[in-house]
Amino acid sequence: MEREFKLTFFQKNSEKILNTVIFIILIVVTLPIILGYLWLIIRSFSVDVVRGFIPTQFTLKNWRFLWETMEGYPNIWRATLNTLWVALSVMGIEILATSMGGYALSRYNFRGRSFTMKFVLVLHAFPTISLL
């Protein structure tokens, strides 16, 4: 004799319920962050201090550094290109060096290889900024 088991609503839909709860928690956690950034963007187009989200007057005065050279400050586009140049140069050098090092560690057996591999794994356990 076979028994029929009737599943409750929660047993049938437990995965959907769990995903919905997780989604709601994520929305609640990220909503203040998103609203903060939205307020910053709206505030940058306002003339005076805004008490709410809607600015009283619209202005681009706070963004004039994009098209004007301001006294005491470097040109924003020159600084951006310098930053891009440095970042791309460092990226190229780093890719070249780590590719050669990774190849040597994976293909050659040498004294200290095991220690080096373990040391690299330990370094990956910590955030890079904390190792500086």
**What is the per-residue pLDDT across 63-73, written as a single tens digit (0 to 9) for each?**
888 888 888 88
User: What is the number of residues in the chain?
Assistant: 132
Q: Residue 34's pLDDT is what?
A: 96
For the chain, what is the mean pLDDT?
Answer: 87
Cβ atoms 44, 62 nearer than 8 A: yes
Q: Residue ranges per domain, the chain?
A: 13-68, 74-132
The mean per-residue pLDDT over the stretch 80-93 comes to 97
Q: Which residues of 44-77 are buried (b: 16+ CB within 10 A; e: fewer)?
A: eebeeeeeeeebeeeeeeeeeeeeeeeeeeeeee
Which span out of 9-18, 61-70, 110-119 was modeled with the highest average pLDDT?
Answer: 110-119
Q: Which two tokens stand for residue 127?
A: 């955030």
Residue 42: count of CB within 10 angstroms of its CB: 14
